[in-house]
């Protein structure tokens, strides 16, 4: 089974390829100084066109999670954890991803995490692992 990768566009290229330099890049509005995700050509808060990618720390904490035992894709090793991570850079900036490198029964709400990247062709998938 071939993994379906996101189509790269001018708006999302920095997000999907920032991992090549080890950076999680989120869109940022220069007018209202807010990060937002997913990337878009206009700020969803103030409707400014003054937006573009900017690196965030990649640090956060698990806000909620689920342990999945269903083999939805052949490339995922069971069980796996899907979590909503609250990024440390801005209140309310959230990201859905997998928690890796930690046994599912060791994941907890409030657990500090940091981003790491998995390269698949020309895309770097942001995943999160327990912070060191």
Q: What is the pLDDT of residues 11-40, one digit of tens each?
A: 999 999 999 999 999 999 999 999 999 999
Contacts of 100 (CB under 8 A, 6+ apart): 81, 116, 127, 128, 129
pTM score of the predicted model: 0.91
Q: Sign of torsion, CA 125 30 43 11? A: negative
Element (H, E) at 13: helix 13-17
pLDDT of 77: 85
User: Is the predicted pLDDT of residue 2 greater than 80, yes or no?
Assistant: no
Distance CA 36, CA 29 (A): 8
- Considering the chain, what is the average pLDDT of its residues? 94
Q: Which two tokens stand for residue 62?
A: 């698990």
Distance CA 110, CA 115 (A): 15
């Amino acid at each position: 089974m071939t993994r379906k990768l996101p189509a790269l566009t001018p708006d999302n290229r920095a997000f999907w390829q920032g991992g090549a330099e080890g950076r999680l890049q989120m869109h940022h509005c220069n007018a209202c100084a807010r990060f937002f995700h997913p990337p878009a050509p206009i700020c969803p808060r103030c409707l400014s066109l003054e937006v573009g990618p900017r690196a965030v720390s990649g640090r956060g904490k698990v806000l909620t999670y689920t342990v999945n035992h269903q083999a939805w894709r052949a490339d995922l090793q069971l069980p796996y954890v899907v979590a909503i991570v609250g990024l440390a850079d801005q209140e309310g900036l959230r990201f859905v991803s997998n928690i890796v490198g930690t046994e599912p029964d060791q994941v907890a709400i409030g657990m500090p995490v940091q981003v790491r990247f998995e390269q698949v062709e020309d895309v770097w998938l942001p995943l999160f692992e327990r912070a060191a």
